[in-house]
Chain A
């Protein structure tokens, strides 16, 4: 489905989708379900360890005047805290640890994906959709627990002519139900497309060789910078949308 000019021109074997392949490192099957330890799982473990080790080393000597690492940890804390407080509003504080973990996990996954030969955990729809569905179901449960059946009013827009109401309610419900899809596809597609694009241009570099390869190489350098920005931005967008969904569940408007 992707053109591989490198392959056609000079026998370079560069498949832009190969980087997304899941390779089993340690076969494992429980109750007939394949839960092998794969490269994806390995990177999830790396993300978990890196995040935890970073935060604990940063805060090991919790100084009054923070050093660089501690500043970084505190900045990330206050950044997410600000995001939660501003977007999710009152009563959102109990969910802060989850949102913080979510932000750091996705950020690390995206950023580690920028390392050469790394595997991007968030470039798989299974992972992003799992996150999105969990958030969607969680937010819906919070909404119903908090407001009871009254949460259904969320789908009834105010100040709308009565004859338009049935149509609008249907639209509202559909837009609510598509939230997990848009949330997960946005992250997964961004990660996948960017990485695939980098690979395609890497193929151009190989195909054009020493004479013409500099142009796509320069583009790749610039695009890598953009990809790092996107890696951060998508983690931010995912988290902020989570906050907004939480706000809807908590405050219904």
Chain B
């Protein structure tokens, strides 16, 4: 078994110490720090970018919230405006209706007064015509003339009685 040949041990150990020592110095001084830096740079970069992404996200969330607040506010305002408008229109319509009502009532009252007038006038005329007629009839039938005053009175009495 060549492994048990003690004469080779010194050489093996010597070259092992040399090679491993050199490799250790090279790696610990040169190679490993470079890998560590590369890894750290990448980790930093990723962390930075994650931070940035989080920041952007919160920013966009803020904007979204502002937008939604604005939207809600304008919706509310629109609602209030429409309510107000409806109210105003209703009031206006009511006022107009009342005005028209009053006018109509006035007109009706007017018309009624006119009717009353006309009726009174008609009655007066009727009275005049009746007493004239009565006077004429009396003259023709009886041949006497009754004083106009008396005829007037009795016609008025009769008419009042009738009506």
A residues adjacent to B (C-beta < 8 A): 1, 17, 20-22, 24, 28, 33-38, 40-41, 44-45, 47-48, 51-52, 55-56, 59, 62, 64, 66, 70, 73-74, 77-78, 96-98, 100-101, 104-105, 121, 123-127, 130, 188, 192
Q: Assess A101 versus B28: contact at CB under 8 Å? Given A22-B11, A126-B13, A127-B16.
A: yes
Is the beta-carbon distance between B19 and A100 smaller than 8 angstroms? no
Given the complex, which residues of B lie within 8 Å of A59, measured CB to CB? 31, 34-35, 38
Given the complex, which residues of B lie within 8 Å of A20, measured CB to CB? 1-3
Given the complex, which residues of A lie within 8 Å of B8, measured CB to CB? 22, 38, 40, 124, 126
Is the beta-carbon distance between B38 and A62 smaller than 8 angstroms? yes
How many chain B residues touch A (CB < 8 A): the figure is 37
Residue of B nearest to A30 (CB): B14
- Ranked 3 nearest A-B pairs via Cβ: A97-B28, A41-B15, A44-B19
B67 touches A (CB below 8 Å): no
A79 vs chain B, min Cβ distance (A): 12
Q: Kindly state the separation between the CA atoms of A96 and B36 in the bound complex, as whole angstroms.
A: 12
At the interface, is chain A mostly helix, strand, loop or mixed? helix
Q: Kindly state the separation between the CA atoms of A96 and B19 in the bound complex, as whole angstroms.
A: 18
Given the complex, which residues of A lie within 8 Å of B1, measured CB to CB? 1, 17, 20
Q: Kindly state the separation between the CA atoms of A51 and B18 in the bound complex, as whole angstroms.
A: 15
Is the beta-carbon distance between A62 and B2 smaller than 8 angstroms? no
B53 vs chain A, min Cβ distance (A): 17
Is the beta-carbon distance between A52 and B10 smaller than 8 angstroms? no
Residue-wise interface mask of B (1-45) relative to A, using a CB-CB cutoff of 8 A (1 in contact, 0 not): 111110111111111111110111011101110111111011001
Is the beta-carbon distance between B11 and A34 smaller than 8 angstroms? yes
Q: Provide a sorted-by-A list of 12 A–B residue pairs whose CB atoms are within 8 angstroms.
A: A22-B12, A34-B7, A35-B15, A38-B8, A48-B26, A52-B26, A59-B31, A70-B38, A73-B35, A98-B24, A105-B20, A130-B13
A92 vs chain B, min Cβ distance (A): 15
Given the complex, which residues of A lie within 8 Å of B32, measured CB to CB? 77, 96-97, 100
A32 vs chain B, min Cβ distance (A): 10
Residue-wise interface mask of B (38-76) relative to A, using a CB-CB cutoff of 8 A (1 in contact, 0 not): 110110010000000000000000000000000000000
Is the beta-carbon distance between B27 and A44 smaller than 8 angstroms? no
Q: Assess A41 versus B11: contact at CB under 8 Å? Given A59-B34, A101-B28.
A: yes
Q: Kindly state the separation between the CA atoms of A114 and B94 in the bound complex, as whole angstroms.
A: 106
Q: Kindly state the separation between the CA atoms of A27 and B10 in the bound complex, as whole angstroms.
A: 13
Give the interface centre of B3, B8, B39 by most chain A CB atoms within 10 Å: B3
Extra A-B contacts (9), CB below 8 Å, given A38-B15, A64-B41, A64-B45: A21-B2, A22-B2, A35-B11, A41-B11, A52-B26, A52-B31, A66-B38, A101-B23, A104-B27
Is the beta-carbon distance between B27 and A47 smaller than 8 angstroms? no
Residue of A nearest to B5 (CB): A22
Residue of B nearest to A60 (CB): B34
Q: Kindly state the separation between the CA atoms of A41 and B45 in the bound complex, as whole angstroms.
A: 43
Give the interface centre of B7, B11, B45 by most chain A CB atoms within 10 Å: B11
Given the complex, which residues of A lie within 8 Å of B5, measured CB to CB? 22
Is the beta-carbon distance between A55 and B36 smaller than 8 angstroms? no
Is the beta-carbon distance between A44 and B16 smaller than 8 angstroms? yes
Is the beta-carbon distance between B3 and A188 smaller than 8 angstroms? yes
Is the beta-carbon distance between B27 and A100 smaller than 8 angstroms? yes
Q: Assess A45 versus B19: contact at CB under 8 Å? Given A100-B27, A124-B12, A126-B8.
A: yes
